[in-house]
């Protein structure tokens, strides 16, 4: 960012009522233990015209956010605690970091073409700093209110991935927003905090499945936009009797195919050929549980779906990959979930670790995707209207993509990270450009 921002205030927000003594130790679930060590970053942008209808004094707006955050933290008390080891959050009301900053730029400059280096500065802490969070003063959650020259604002929030996935983040933000609108915490349904650790008890393990992946290679991230109409065309292109891909399946498959082609095209003479590829996709298992869990359930209630290897030599068909994607996601079923809840959890962890080893071999190109499509980030209304733009920050891991809904709910925004050489090829992929557009 060319201009330097000023810090107006920096506070620690504690719950409006102290957490009872019997709740001071919050158990993480086995699924939380498997989650990455980094944070889940969210950015919500609100237009100046909407903000002005609420308050001309942004100091008052900032205070309202702090007050309502303090109130909602009484329900989400682990969010103001500290991670003490691999299975416990100490809920001693140490609080949530809240920064209010002022930037001498227009909000429209960011919205026209979001740049990663700018978006990073709108967050209260580096989301992918993998230093142990036990010594991190920003704690489980941190907030930054960014005030732009035009009067618009951006709210940057980071949650520890050890207690929150994207679904949890969306639920928390909407609960906070409802409190800000004056609904009061008494009118909110308390989140089922302990449910996940009861269903998936913590295990005596120490594993980080993303260890060594962040920053391993020099990468570049680009944003691709898929309109609702282009996704419909893409689905029609892939569909056949008995198979109609979902929006997420269609977009993910096209990104996988195009990225694999870019990888093959960018090989220098003498480099080992790519003979196979595999894909992983995160799967929200709330609706796959029996009985299903509430969308407001707190924790990392998702799992990696891992494909078998696909031959990469020659032309790889889009429909073939889409069917493989459907098959892969379908693996995370009731039987898979039962293994996670039983002593067979070891088998699941070993399978994931083995998949990591396989795709690390030469000649095999692995890709990972996660979808936040459908999560209600565009519903977060603190009293001055819904966001004009909601996004996240791409994970700096090679061959990784994040999908999010666009504001109209029909399109998809994809943040994709590849090596510089492969991204340069991808930007000229004719099939991809038939359905998507890159930021300029």
Q: Token pair for residue 440? A: 């300029």
Distance between CA 128 and CA 228 in Å, rounded?
31
Distance between CA 171 and CA 88 in Å, rounded?
22
Taking only the tens of pLDDT, the chain with its 440 residues reads: 455 678 999 999 999 999 999 999 999 999 999 998 889 999 999 999 999 888 778 899 999 999 999 999 999 999 999 998 878 999 999 999 999 999 988 999 899 888 888 899 999 999 987 554 444 445 899 999 999 999 999 999 999 999 999 999 999 999 999 999 987 777 787 888 988 999 999 988 776 666 656 666 789 999 999 999 999 999 999 999 999 999 999 999 999 999 999 999 998 877 889 999 999 999 999 999 999 999 999 999 999 899 989 999 888 899 999 999 999 999 999 999 999 999 888 888 888 788 777 777 888 999 999 999 999 999 999 999 999 999 999 888 899 999 999 999 999 999 999 999 999 999 999 999 999 999 85
Longest dimension (CA), the chain: 66
Domains of the chain, CATH where assigned: 6-199 (3.30.559.10), 219-438 (3.30.559.10)
Q: Is 85 helix (H, G, I), strand (E, B) or coil?
A: coil
- Contact 99/10 with Cβ under 8 angstroms? yes
Distance between CA 171 and CA 188 in Å, rounded?
11
Q: Is the dihedral of CA 58, 64, 67, 72 positive or negative?
A: negative
Active-site positions read 161, 381
Backbone phi, then psi, for 247, in 5-degree steps?
A: -60, -45
pLDDT digits (tens, 9 = 90+) for 133-143: 444 445 899 99
Q: How far is CA 167 from CA 255, 361, 374, in A?
A: 23, 33, 9
pLDDT digits (tens, 9 = 90+) for 253-309: 999 999 999 999 998 877 889 999 999 999 999 999 999 999 999 999 999 899 989
Distance between CA 140 and CA 39 in Å, rounded?
9
Distance between CA 266 and CA 288 in Å, rounded?
40
Q: Is the dihedral of CA 360, 335, 239, 249 positive or negative?
A: negative
Q: Token pair for residue 421? A: 């050489």
What DSSP state is assigned to residue 240? Answer: B
């Amino acid at each position: 960012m060319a201009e330097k921002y000023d810090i107006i205030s920096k506070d620690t927000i504690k719950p409006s009522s102290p957490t009872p003594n019997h709740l001071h130790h919050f158990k993480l679930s086995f699924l939380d233990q498997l989650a990455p060590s980094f944070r889940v970053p969210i950015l919500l942008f609100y237009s100046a015209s909407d903000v002005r209808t609420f308050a001309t004094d942004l100091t008052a707006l900032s205070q309202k956010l702090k007050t309502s955050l303090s109130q909602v933290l009484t329900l989400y008390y682990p969010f103001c605690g500290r991670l003490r080891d691999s299975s416990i959050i100490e809920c001693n009301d140490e609080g949530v970091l809240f920064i209010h900053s002022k930037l001498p730029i227009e909000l429209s400059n960011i919205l026209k073409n979001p740049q990663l280096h700018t978006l990073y500065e709108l967050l209260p802490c580096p989301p992918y700093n993998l230093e142990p969070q036990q010594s991190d003063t920003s704690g489980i959650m941190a907030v930054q209110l960014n005030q732009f020259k035009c009067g618009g604002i951006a709210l940057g929030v980071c949650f520890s991935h050890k207690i929150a996935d994207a679904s949890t983040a969306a639920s928390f933000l909407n609960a906070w927003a409802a409190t800000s609108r004056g609904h009061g915490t008494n009118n909110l349904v308390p989140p089922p905090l302990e449910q996940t650790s009861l269903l998936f008890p913590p295990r005596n393990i120490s594993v980080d499945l993303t260890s060594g992946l962040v920053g391993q290679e020099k990468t570049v991230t680009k944003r691709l936009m898929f309109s609702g109409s282009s996704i419909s065309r893409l689905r029609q292109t892939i569909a056949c009797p008995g198979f109609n891909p979902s929006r997420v399946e269609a977009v993910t498959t096209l990104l996988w195919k195009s990225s694999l082609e870019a990888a093959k095209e960018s090989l220098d003479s003498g480099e080992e050929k790519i003979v196979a590829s595999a894909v992983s996709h995160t799967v929200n298992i709330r609706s796959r549980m029996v009985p299903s869990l509430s969308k407001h359930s707190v924790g990392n209630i998702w799992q990696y779906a891992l494909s078998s290897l696909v031959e990469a030599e020659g032309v790889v068909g889009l429909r073939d990959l889409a069917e493989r994607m459907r098959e892969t996601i379908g693996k995370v079923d009731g039987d898979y979930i039962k293994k996670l809840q039983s002593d067979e959890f070891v088998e699941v962890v070993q399978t994931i670790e083995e998949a990591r080893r396989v795709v690390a071999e030469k000649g095999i190109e692995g890709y990972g995707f996660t979808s936040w499509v459908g999560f209600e980030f565009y519903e977060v209304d603190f009293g001055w209207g819904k966001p004009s733009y909601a996004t996240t920050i791409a994970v700096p891991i090679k061959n990784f993509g994040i999908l999010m809904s666009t504001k109209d709910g029909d399109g998809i925004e994809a943040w994709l990270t590849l090596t510089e050489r492969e991204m340069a090829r991808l930007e000229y992929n004719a099939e991809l450009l038939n359905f998507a557009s890159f930021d300029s």
